[in-house]
Amino acid sequence: MTNKNILKILVIMIAVLSLFAVSCRKSGGGGITQTDPIKNLTGNLLIVSADGMQGANSLPLSFIGASATVSDVEVGQGSDILLFPTNFIIENGNLYLTNLTKTNKDGGEVKAAVSNKVTLTFSLSGENLSRYTDTADIFVGKMQTNISVETLKKLKFHISDTVTGRDNIDGDNLVQTATGKAKSILFANSSFKVDTSDDSKFILENANTGNADNQIKMSEIATILSNSFKSNQDISTYNNNAGFEITSSTEGTKATFVIKFKPFNSFYKEHSITFDQKLGAWIE
């Protein structure tokens, strides 16, 4: 076999091997691995400051193996808030509101966030990504500062899930404990007052004199408040029916119940109601 023939055979073998390698890559054998840019977003509420000119919080946001910018903003139907991609910035793994001028279409007061659903479209950049866009639904709006005292004055106290709400909590409707009673007790919804130190704190005093032998169960009052809040449509809209948590503490004849709305973040202020028996004690 001449050298010329050997060279031809080698050229043909190299060509065949090259075609085989290309075929393997096309079939997935040893091809480039693509990265799926999975979104990590914590929370869905962005707060507009009281003056409507800046953001008051941020949301943790990142993508695996990709960088992101907001490329499109779609405000939900019925919302009055006015936002553009330039109003959002992703920096150090967080999503912020920025460059706000007027956040309401008519220049009036910005709505609570539960009224302003916003769909964000992200443009993704990075090497070998399986896709280059993603979306997320969030809510943008003002902080819901407090439940008004007028709302509480309309509250119907539900002693249990099966009892129609009442305008007052009468001692006769409370559990009489083995060691104490609930005598001379009348907590009327019309008697709600705002604490002079904070408009998210409320006081409800016993309209009667109370009794030194009283032992009212805090858990019972907490249940009544919970039932009453759930049945009140005005209060349920504060957090789009996401619920709330009630904790309590006592000091002398007073028991304070703190209501914290979900999601547990700075969008909704905590509220508290302090019940004062005037005479008597509180038990767990």
pLDDT in tens, 151-167: 899 999 998 767 789 99
Q: Is 244 exposed, middle or buried (0-12, 13-18, 19+ CB in 10 A)?
A: buried
pTM over 0.85, yes/no: no
Q: Is 270 exposed, middle or buried (0-12, 13-18, 19+ CB in 10 A)?
A: middle
pLDDT-derived band at 6 (thresholds 50, 70, 90) equals low
Which of 137, 49, 122, 41 is closest to 89 using CA atoms? 122
Question: What DSSP string describes 172-187?
Answer: GGS---SS-B--S-EE
* 54 backbone φψ class: left, alpha, beta (φ>0; ψ -120 to 50): beta
pLDDT-derived band at 13 (thresholds 50, 70, 90) equals low
Round to the nearest angstrom and report the end-to-end CA distance of the chain.
103
pLDDT-derived band at 134 (thresholds 50, 70, 90) equals very high
The tens digit of pLDDT for each residue in 240-249 reads 556 789 999 9
Which of 69, 104, 63, 102 is closest to 86 using CA atoms? 69
| Alpha-carbon dihedral 25, 27, 29, 35, rounded to 10 degrees | 80
Question: Phi and psi (nearest 5°) for 107?
Answer: 80, 0
> Which structural domains are found in the chain, ordered by start?
39-142 (2.60.40), 149-283 (no CATH)
**pLDDT computed for residue 242 by the predictor:** 64
**Residue 272 to residues 70, 190, 222, 249, 269, Cα–Cα distance (Å):** 39, 17, 12, 11, 10
Q: Which residues pair with 265 in a beta bridge?
A: none
Whether 183 contacts 251, CB under 8 Å: no
**pLDDT computed for residue 70 by the predictor:** 98
The tens digit of pLDDT for each residue in 20-47 reads 444 444 444 456 888 899 999 998 888 8
